[in-house]
Chains A and B, each alone.
Chain A
Amino acid sequence: MQQNFIKIIFIATLLAGAIFAPAVFASVTDGTIDATYKYAWSENAGWLNFGTSGGNVHITDSGLTGYAWSENYGWINLSPATSGVANNGSGVLSGSAWSEGLGWINFSGVTINSSGEFLGYGTVSRDDSQISFNCINTNSCSVSDFKVKTDWRPRNSRLACNNATDDDGDGKIDYPNDPGCGSLTDADENDPGGGMPAAAFNPPAPPPILGFNVLISNGDEYSENSTINLALSGGTDSVRMAISNFSDFQNTGQEVYAPTKVWDLCQGLAECPEGQYTVYVKFYTSWGQSSGVVSDNIIYRKKTISEKIIELTPAKIIESIPEILQPLIPGFFKPKPPETPPEISLEKLLPKKAPLTLRGNWQLLPTNSVKEFVLAPLPKEMAILAQKFPELGETLKKVGITKMTDLNKLKAVQLILPGITKELSLLTSGIQSDKLSRPRDLPIAGVQPAKFALPEGIPIAKLSMAAKQKVPTEIVFAKAGGGLVDYNITLTVNNEGRPEQTITTITAKPLQLIVKPDKPVKSIKGYIVFRSKPTVNNQSRINIQDLTASLFFAKPTLAVAQKQSVIVEEKLVLLEFEYTDFDGDGIYAADVQMPAVEGEYEVITVLEFQDENLGQKEIRLITVVDPEGYVYEKNDGKETRIPGAIVSLFWLSPATKQYGLWPAKEYQQENPQTTDNRGTYSFLVPEGFYYLKVEAPGYPVYNGKSFQVREGSGIHVNIELKTKYWWLNIVDWKTVLLILGVALLLYNFYRDKIREESLQKKITGS
């Protein structure tokens, strides 16, 4: 029975020891980590355990010591030699911890509250990732209740006799130093009684053996570092001290007396060269009475490289061997890693309720700017053209070009606006379809070119008044060949997305320009301006092959209103001319001659309205002037122009359906043409099928292949002729002579052989 009782007592003692042991060793001034709340969460490193048994983490008023454990990166040293996590006594942490795997971890931003709970975030300096010390930081405690907690408390949360503060100002701090404190749990540090004791008037008593003393770096003669350790001996009643590098203690305050002190020899000095330094110290009682000045010297000297190398003694190298070999040790020889924290998955951390942004109630992308960009209408000029030429509008709709952003599609198509006659014939067919009268002088339109029934151009003067009224206003049309050849206008879109109208003609050819103003005008002037030399046109072209709709509604205004007077660069103006309206039909015309040099020109037509409020308008028409065609012969890869060649143009007559000589006189031209010294020729023809024939003395007759002219433009292909005796050029006379010589030589050998054989026969016969 007694034995059992002893056993129970023994076991109870062990259990009590096990349970209360941490509480015994920990305190509010030297705290340890709570057994339950010991984890911090790092977004990159996972869980960090500050309460491992081997880590021995302690929290004091001055800082943290020991090691935390990361399951992914290993130990984290909270008090490395060159830094360390500091505590200002009020629970505000600073400084850095070091981990081999994570690098420096900055504790600025971490605090310990009056309950001993860590709050805020630490930062991994390497990648600026954060370490949360408390689930309350992210309001996620309901999902994962983690934190780091200690039994250390900030000074202002501790009792007066255990707060490391001289609360009563008597120079003595806490129990048992302060006579006002009966125990650590005493909440009042004030001394009992009153009056000034005798000690208030006495200097501090020197220590019995050494007396007042200061020793630098344990009495070393030299120091390689300006930061040195001071050993201070101030006696029992010294509570404060003053340390200075100057004998007069300039700019020096008092501080709490401590037996050791880390000191910088260079403190207060502008420069810190090598040499001898002296540190001066005075000690004070709690009543402010000071001791005499004591001092010590040391020589500050930086170490040379050779000295550093010499210091690498074999012993030091041997010491570092385990560190080097550590990665090579097999896993089963290594000590077991500390316990791993429980895995808290993201699934648990993520709130079940979706945040406002992910509930599908909001428009996450701002719509206004998108609309402005995507749904912007077509450029004004393009819209006006689409109104003037309803077929164009229909075509744009067909290919899905309704917005500014659709203009890129125009790169894949080609658009050609019809000439004036074709427009009017289309217009007329529209009239017919509407059971209205059709002008007699216009052929039926809408017939495909391949069926040989293209409408010929009709001079403006021959148009009926009804037709003239239907001419689209403020568009410049071009004609040639006495008004019988209409130029079709190519519509292009430039790099800025603006439409440009272009016609193509031949150098030095006459051109008739026609424009009908929308309102009465004072005058219409024209300018031919040089734009650029011939280049490859990289602009997009769009082709309307099926311009069949009515032009009834073509009444918008295409010309650009001029806010200022029209400014044309005078130096670039090649020709200035004026449009006239002789018959008063409201259609103005001007006959001009294209420049003799090929290139890209611009015809600028300026309308000056009678109504001054309308001001001026300008219409721009780009005119590409191509060179004339020429007849040539190739000699050794070079071209030689052939003068005097007769170039005849044959066309497929719609009436006879036979090819015949093209009636050039009707178009104020010549056919056939005789080439000049430059071998040039050219024709301006209406749409149709044609072929060329060239006759020149000394050359076989050239009969070209049939081709189609679709845009009412010029014929100016370059034609190569071959001479009748072209094969002579292939054979070289030197080669012929050589072959002849070799043949004669062989023949000579053959003759010799025959002669020898006949002689042999004769000799044998005789």
Chain B
Amino acid sequence: MSLFNQSNQTNKSDEPTSHFWVVLAVILLVGTVFFGVRYFAIQKELRATKSSLETQITNGKVLEFAKMFIDKVLKADKEVDFETRLKLETAVRNLSDEEILVQWQKFTEAKTEIQAQAGVKTLLEILVNKIKA
């Protein structure tokens, strides 16, 4: 009888401890799930932000090149000097855009005035089309 009572008491004293661990495990599990979901949500947001940032940077570069092209080439009333050409070549390569680079090279390699004029129109069209909303 006394033994029975003793074991009963022991079981009762263990109950709060086991409850504690169960609660702790549940909390940790919920916390893990919560932070996991948060992590993936933030990752997704980060990807979207990076994409948006890349678009903005690209737009900025395209606009910068377009501005330079208009200021230094279309408005030029004399030969474009080496430094400016170097800047233009660097800028067009920094765009990392094959289409623009190819059109730029077509323009610079034009052999006749008509070819150059057509090249200007196409290049400006491509530059404007490259700017994304």
Binding site for B on A (CB under 8 A): 43-44, 127-130, 346-347, 350, 352, 354-360, 362-366
Contacts and interface: CB of A to CB of B under 8 A. Distances in A.
B93 A43 contact: yes
A347 B121 CA distance: 27
Given A127-B98, A358-B73, A363 B79 contact: no
Nearest to A366: B117
B120 A358 contact: no
Specify which of A130, A352, A360 lies most central, judged by the most chain B CB atoms within 10 Å of its CB.
Answer: A360
- A-B residue pairs, 6 tightest by C-beta: A358-B80, A362-B113, A360-B78, A357-B116, A355-B108, A360-B79
B54 interface: no
Contact of A358 (B77, B79, B111, B113): B79
A4 B85 CA distance: 62
Given A43-B93, A350-B89, A365-B74, A357 B79 contact: no
Contacts of B109: 355, 357
B96 interface: yes
Interface string B95-133: 010100100000111110100110111000000000000
Contacts of B89: 346, 350
Among A358, A362, A365, which residue has the most Cβ atoms of chain B within 10 A?
A358
B77 A364 contact: no
Interface in B49-86: 73-74, 76-82, 85-86
B90 interface: yes
A15 to B, nearest CB: 44
A146 B68 CA distance: 31
Contacts of A350: 82, 85-86, 89
A44 B90 contact: no
A140 to B, nearest CB: 13
Contacts of B107: 357
A366 B80 CA distance: 19
A364 B93 contact: no
Interface string B12-53: 000000000000000000000000000000000000000000
Contacts of B86: 346-347, 350
A362 B116 CA distance: 8
B77 to A, nearest CB: 6
Contacts of B108: 355, 357-358
B93 A346 contact: yes
Q: Taking chain B's interface residues, is the majority helix, strand, or loop, or is none over half, making it mixed?
A: helix
A124 to B, nearest CB: 10
B68 to A, nearest CB: 13
Contacts of B76: 358, 360
Contact of A356 (B82, B85, B110, B121): B110
Nearest to B107: A357
Contacts of A365: 74, 117, 120
Contacts of A364: 73-74, 116-117, 120
A43 B116 CA distance: 24
Nearest to B82: A352
Contacts of A359: 79-80
A358 B77 CA distance: 10
Given A127-B98, A350-B82, A350-B85, A360 B77 contact: yes
Contacts of A43: 93, 101
30 contacts: A44-B96, A127-B96, A127-B98, A129-B96, A129-B98, A346-B89, A346-B90, A346-B93, A347-B86, A350-B86, A350-B89, A352-B82, A354-B79, A354-B82, A354-B85, A355-B108, A355-B109, A357-B107, A357-B108, A359-B79, A360-B79, A360-B80, A362-B116, A363-B113, A364-B73, A364-B74, A364-B117, A364-B120, A366-B117, A366-B121
A42 B96 CA distance: 12
Nearest to B113: A362
Contacts of B110: 355-357
Nearest to A355: B108
A356 to B, nearest CB: 7
A614 B119 CA distance: 50
Contacts of B120: 364-365
Given A130-B98, A358-B79, 19 more contacts: A43-B101, A128-B98, A129-B96, A129-B98, A346-B86, A346-B90, A346-B93, A352-B82, A354-B79, A354-B80, A354-B82, A355-B108, A357-B108, A357-B116, A360-B78, A360-B80, A363-B117, A364-B73, A365-B74
